[in-house]
Chains A and B, each alone.
Chain A
């Protein structure tokens, strides 16, 4: 049973999401982002394992530095209202997903999703940091994402404003690493490098960017 998700964007500065749940309806949300709830709404712990994400996979994500990833979601069960907020300025997007339609959403942006949506955290890509650490090594950087597959509704928040694109097959756009918010599963994402300024002390340090190749939906946000 899917919930009716309604976003309340009063004032438009830091939008909150208002979820209206009928009796027995459930919605899953990141732990700790509840703004308020009505008394009849029950809260349960929903393990990642119950969503098909193995503990070994989660531990692997943590080992790579994915600190956003929790072992649990909060499950809110109706009847009543629950309001959720990410405590940041930006836009809330409510996206209905069709059967087997997948979206990869940058981690730390998901607010809530229907129980029917399949959730899987993943490494979107990795690259070597061009700036060496104190030992002269170039640490590996990871970009983490939440893969969400329909049917069902997902709700997420950008930091800053959202720019949406629909790329044709083979069409490419280039974004900063921090700028990418979400992309359809059909979109290919590759790391690329822009030549940086020639600095006397360190030499030429390239800037990592993302080459995003269609077909499919891409969302970029103006805050990171």
Chain B
């Protein structure tokens, strides 16, 4: 558990350009609270790039480096290695990318960095579409969901990124969401103290892109967790699963009914989704059972 002073310290400033109810801002803020002052952040294009700085003003109170869209991971790895060469210790390097920069565009460079087990934390702020450029579908967009480029609903299921991550046998990977802030902060604390590539998959609600009221963003993240749609777990060395939060198991309908991007879902669509969610959850429970 964090100390009171640690909890209260802030490494982000008010006045940023995030939409009201922005999940990216909250998630980034919580992560930085844990990582603390001795942190260097790598930012690539995405909402978080717009939020973190409006030249010549910065939101972050820690050094931040803006890099190209597809190279969040190798940029972080480069900084991490440069620090090592200079003999600097105890500085966290955090690569921040959206789902576009992770699921689609930055995947190969992330894979390379993870393969070399470079020492940094990779934070994927997954809001399930290219929100910054105007809600275009990514391979993280769930099946049948509305975006500007999939007006009739996306074909194909959301890419199972954690399976790809598992294949890299990273020392630490975890799913987090702002809806469960204490769980999020505990996981970042763990990642901070592990050497090697750490991957954090954060589900980030986006009121603008998800077509929902701005006050519901945190609640939608909680609903995603409690309906088992987005289970919170850790993955150690790519093989050991540990579920960190036991969901209430409320119907997934509660999660989708507050979002306009699911508005066209018929009852049978909801039913099919519920079945998928239940099966995925069972699979995860099975995996977690066989682990210590």
Q: Do A and B make up one complex?
A: no
Q: A interface vs B, CB < 8 Å?
A: none
